[in-house]
Each structure stands twice: as C-alpha cells, then as structure tokens.
A and B are shown apart, each in its own frame.
Chain A
Amino acid sequence: MEIIASAIGTALQWQNLIAVVAGVLTGIIIGALPGLGPAVGVALLIPFTYALPTETSLILLTALYMAAEYGGSISAILISTPGTPAAAATTLDGYPMAQNGEPGKALTTSLYASVIGGIIGVIILISLSIPLARFALKFGPAEYFALGVFGLSIVSSLSGKSMLKGFAAAVLGLLLSTVGVDTLTGYTRLSFGFVDLMEGFPFIPVLIGLFAMSEVFNMIEGLAKESIAVKKFSVKFASLLEFKKVLPTVFKGSLIGSFIGILPGAGGAIACWVSYNEAKRTSRHPEKFGTGIMEGIAAPESANNATVGGAMIPLLALGIPGSGTTAVLLGALIMHGLTPGPKLFTEHTAMIYSLFAGLMLSNFLLLAFGLGAIRMWVKVLKIPTNVLAPIIFILGVIGSYGVRNNMFDVLLMFVFGLMGYFLKKYDYSVPAIVLAMILGFMIESNLRRALIISDGSFLVILTQPICLMLIVIAVLTLVMPMVRQFKSQRNSRTGAN
C-alpha cells in the first residue's frame, strides 16, 4: 500500500506531470498525422529523454503511446486517413459519420471509448500482469498460426460489395508479405535484387501509400465533382445518454484489445479489426455498420487504447514486446539501463508503480485535452482540399522517408498510392490487403515452425485446444457473412416472386 501511495506521489511530481501533459499533447498530434504512429512518435521522442530521469522518460513515452492511439482516430474520422494502423477500422464508420455532418459526435465517441479502453487496459496491466503473461508464454507456433488465420478471417466482413474481390485483395496482401528473406531458410524471395526489400515491404510506406496517397489522388479527382467549399457540419458532442448505449461495445472492445495486446506480435492494428468485427457480428443491426454508427467507432477505438495496457504486460514482465511501439519502448528501457523482465518488478518496484500511475493519469488528461481541443480538430475539415492534399503529401513523404531514412521507401509509398487509388475504384478492399500483409508472415512462419516441431503432422493444429478454438472461430467468422449474404439474396428473390 505504501509503495502504491509513494508511486502516485512520484507520478504527481511536477516534472512527471509536465511529462504526461507533453506526452499526451504530442501523442494526439503525432497520432493524428498520417504515417506518424505511436511507434514513430516514441522513436522520435527518445532523444529528448536522454537528459530526463528514468521514470519521467517512461511516463512521457507511454503517455504519448496512449494518446497517439486516440489521435489516430482524428484523421481517420475527419479525412478518412487513419493516423495510425490501429485506427484503420475507425474510418469505416467514423468517416461516414463526419460526412453526415456529425464530426463532433464521431470524435467524442472515439475519445470516450479510447479513455475507457485505456483505463481498462491499465487496470488489466496492473492486476493481471504476471499470470496473463504466463498464459501468453504458452503459445507455440501452432497457436500463433491459428491466431493469424483468425485475424485474416475478418476479411470476409471487410469485403464490401464483392466478396470475391475482398478475398482477391487478401490473397494479394498475403503474396506481398512473402517478399523478402524467408526466415526459416534464409532464401531471399521476390525482392528482385533490391536490398531495401530484403526485410520485405516496409509496412509504414505501404500503409501511407495505400491509405493516404491514394486519397490525395481521390482529392484531385474530386475537385471536378464538387466545389472545394466545405460541407456544413455540427460540432455537437455525443451525449452521455447516447454513449451509454454503446457501453457494452466499449467494454467488449476493451477486453478484446487488452487480450490481443498481450499476445506478442499482435498489436492495436489487429485488435481494432477483431473488435470491429465482433461488434458487427453480435449486433442486432449489422447492416448499419459502415454507414456511420457509434458502435462502429467505439469498438475499434476502445480496443486500440486497451492494447496499450495489454502490450505493456509481456514487455515489462517478460521483456517481449507485444506491438511495434513496445518494441521501441523496449529500446528506450534498455537505453535507460533497465532490463525488462520479471526482475524489473522486484528490483524497480517503485518505478513500475509510478509508471502505472502515470499511464492511468494520461487517460484522464487525454479526456481533458481531447474534449478541450475537439473543436480545433473538427476545424481540420474546414481546410480546403487543395490545402490539405499537399500537407498529406508532404507528411506522407516524411513519414515514409523517416522510418529508414530512405528515398526508396518514398517511391514505394507512391507505387502503393497508385495501386490503392485504382483498386479502391474497382471495389477491392484496401484494408483487406493491409491486414493480410501484417498477418502473412505470422501465418506462414508459424505454420512452418509448427510442422517442423510436429514432424510434418497437420494434426498439431487440431489437437491443441487454444489452437482448435481459434480455427473454429475463424471458420465461423469467414462463413457467417457469406451465409447472411446468401440468405438475404434468397429472401429478396422470394420477395420479388
């Protein structure tokens, strides 16, 4: 108890308070900027922490991580460009809601869901760190393969008009994920001699290209159709009564996010889709998803903030990063002379607890700053397209260049931008490509590892209980939307007769 009280005291020291404020503000901005996600944000801020005490540094970086997960939804909602990969699902309902003239409602829904998700994630981090981390440790390659397949099965509900085109997009994404060195044999596949493709397609330039650059081309084209003048919109907030209705979705999303966050390799980018899909699957009105409803925003946003707490569990307790950002945080911890792992809890107990307190505090500040500045964010919409397009372009260039300081990545960003622009025009699902690209490596490498361990027997996938459960859910997730589509087609046909 004493240690907790002193930890809260440490977190409330003025320099740590400033760190939380700075972390939250930069986090929101960096999250909102397309291409600059929490991982890039944390990496960019690491040089600032050289001169700071360890607690202050960690509080600053984790507050940024938390706030960026919310920030990503701002651009997802206002300009249909997810600021972070974890906000990609938010565009599905957030952008239509903003287009329907309710950007304020969309942003507050996202904010409340993010804060609740963040708080629940931290509570889970505090109470379950060690036992839950132990559970995730038991996951072998077979379970990871099943998890990847489960993640991919979501594609069927992302497909939009044509399910076949959705599957084709996913296959294309999986195919793109095979580029680069094959980790099991060391053979370089399909890189055509480009050294920069040895590690596969760098994810951030591809993401910026597919989502942001393709939008720039759309903007250019949109000029002829409608004038540059901005549509009227209200900055009306989501009322607490309205938000109360989506609370079950928020709690479910928070738990999904925390759980997926714990699994190494699966971060907010996967959690948001799983949560969105789960909300849609269990909804009484799944057909309304994608038209701009609150559940469609609350589900991914609660989940991606909850992954922050979840991802910190294996990072702190075992030294295994659960997301791209925690991988960068791992570097920051080591830089400050700490070795993440079980010993951290015994040797640096006070610091760990003040980190928890700082993370909790960052959620409340996120709520305050989020609400305070929401009118400012809504104003982003007032920026005419011809002003916004060059900004997205420049940030896209910087974002793709900055990951590896490499112009090749900028070229890739352009290529994927064109690809995204044309594929979107013909109803191919861009999120399906992205999801498949993230999961492809996980699926292939873990299946092969599992088969090596089991001496080539595929039974390994069906005999492990966790694995079997995930595969069954995956098959159901894949088939259900098809059955639903078939039923509704049959109903409309019999109705016509």
Chain B
Amino acid sequence: MKRGSAVISLLMIGLGLFVFFQTLTFPKAFNPNDFGPAFFPRVLSIVLIIFSIGILALTRKEEKEVKYSQLLLIAMSILLSLAYIPAVSYFGFYLTTIVYTALFLKILQVKALMAATYSVALCLTVYLIFTRLLSMPLPVGILTGTI
C-alpha cells in the first residue's frame, strides 16, 4: 500500500462520512415530489466512500511511489501563501505582494537584488494596469488614501 495514495483515499472517505452525517440534519422539502436538499449530497457521499474504498483496495503494490522533491520549498511556499491572506488585509495588496514576490523569488534561488527589482517592477505594472487603467479596487490596507 502506497502511503500518499492511501492518505488521499482516507481523506475522501472522511469527507464522505462527514457529508453523510451532515445531510441527516437537513430538513425535508415542502413539496412531497421533491426529494429534498439532503438526497443529492447524501447519495454522492456514499458513492464517494465506495469509490475511495475501491481505490484503496485496488492500489497495486507495483504502482510507482510518488516522489516529492523540494518538499521543504513546497512547505515554505504553502506557509508563505497562508500568511499572505492576513498580511494583505493589514498591509494591503501592494506592500504585501512586493515583499511576498521578493521572498518567493528568493526561495526560487534568484539573487536578492534581482528579486527585489523584479517584484517592485511587477507590482508597478499591476498598479498601472489594474488600479490606474482598469480602476479595479485592490485592497490597499494601511496605504488607504495614499494611492
């Protein structure tokens, strides 16, 4: 049994079980001919569980193990992405994105000066196109009123 594939199947089974039990709390429809809001998700959750058990059982031993290279880089990018949302809410889109892009490029082994220049240039382009040209309201956070 390959671990990664099994984890995904187990997560799907978990999701299926969760949805199934959730649907038990759904109300009935007013119209007797309507099978109600619970029917469709409940059937789907059962089918998902059956399929996932099938996949779990059929995962052959000879299947290649999926390799993760750069797991550390991926993990760092995921953490960075998660930090991005609250940061944008406070510092605004532009400040956060400049810093984020520079860090991101640094992770990708780009030289510091290059990373900084590129991220500023990128954000300036975005500003000119989206904020100036297309008047798209991107969150500006603490820069409110200045740009």
Task: Contacts A414-B82, A444-B40 known; list 14 others, CB within 8 Å.
Answer: A172-B15, A187-B27, A187-B37, A190-B19, A225-B69, A385-B108, A386-B109, A393-B101, A401-B138, A410-B84, A414-B84, A425-B4, A448-B35, A452-B34
- In the complex, what distance in Å separates the CA atom of A386 from the CA atom of B119? 12
Residue of B nearest to A225 (CB): B69
Total interface residues on A, CB under 8 Å, equals 56
Q: Does A398 reach chain B (CB closer than 8 Å)?
A: yes
Given contacts A172-B48, A178-B44, A220 and B37 within 8 Å (CB-CB): no
B74 within 8 A of A: yes
Check A233 for interface membership: any CB of B closer than 8 A: no
Q: Do residues A224 and B119 form an inter-chain contact, with CB atoms below 8 A?
A: no
Pick from A223, A394, A452: contact of B97, CB below 8 A: A394
Instruction: Kindly list chain B residues whose C-beta atoms are within 8 Å of the C-beta of A221.
Output: 68-70, 73-74
Count of inter-chain pairs, beta carbons less than 8 A: 146
Complex alpha-carbon distance, A216 and B52, angstroms: 27
Across-interface contacts of B101 in A (CB, < 8 A) = 390, 393-394
Knowing A167-B51, A423-B8, say if A394 contacts B122 (CB, 8 Å): yes
In the complex the two chains form, is A178's CB within 8 Å of B51's CB?
no
Residue B85 interfacial (CB < 8 Å) = yes
Question: Secondary structure of the A side of the interface?
Answer: helix
Whether A414 lies near B109 (C-beta < 8 A) is: no
How far is it, in angstroms, between the C-alpha of A266 and the C-alpha of B47 when the chains are bound? 26
The size bracket of the interface on B is 35 or more
When chains A and B are docked, how far (Å) is the Cα of A165 from the Cα of B119? 39
Whether A224 pairs with B55 at a CB distance below 8 angstroms is: no
- Interface assignment of A211: CB less than 8 Å from any CB of chain B: no
Distance in angstroms from B147 CB to nearest chain A CB is: 16
Complex CA gap A452/B31 in Å reads 8
Pair B55/A168 contact, Cβ less than 8 Å: yes
Partner of A185 from the list B37, B69, B84, B123 (CB cut-off 8 Å) is B37
Point out which of B77, B81, B138 has the most chain A C-beta atoms below 10 A from its C-beta: B81
Partner among A386, A393, A398 whose Cβ is within 8 Å of the Cβ of B110: A386
Check: B91 CB closer than 8 A to any chain A CB: no
A405 contacts the other chain (CB 8 A): yes
Give residues 113-147 of B contacting A (CB, 8 Å): 118-119, 122-123, 126, 130, 134-139
- In chain B, what residue has the closest Cβ to A455? B33
A171→B138 contact, CB < 8 A? no
Point out the residues of chain A lying under 8 angstroms from B26, CB to CB: 187, 189
Residues of chain A contacted by B51 (CB below 8 angstroms): 164, 167-168, 171
Is A217 interfacial (CB 8 A cutoff)? yes
Q: Are the CB atoms of A223 and B108 closer together than 8 Å?
A: yes
Asked if A147 lies at the interface with its beta carbon under 8 angstroms from chain B, I say no
Neighbouring A residues of B33 by C-beta, 8 Å: 451-452, 454-456
A175 to B82, CA, bound (A): 25
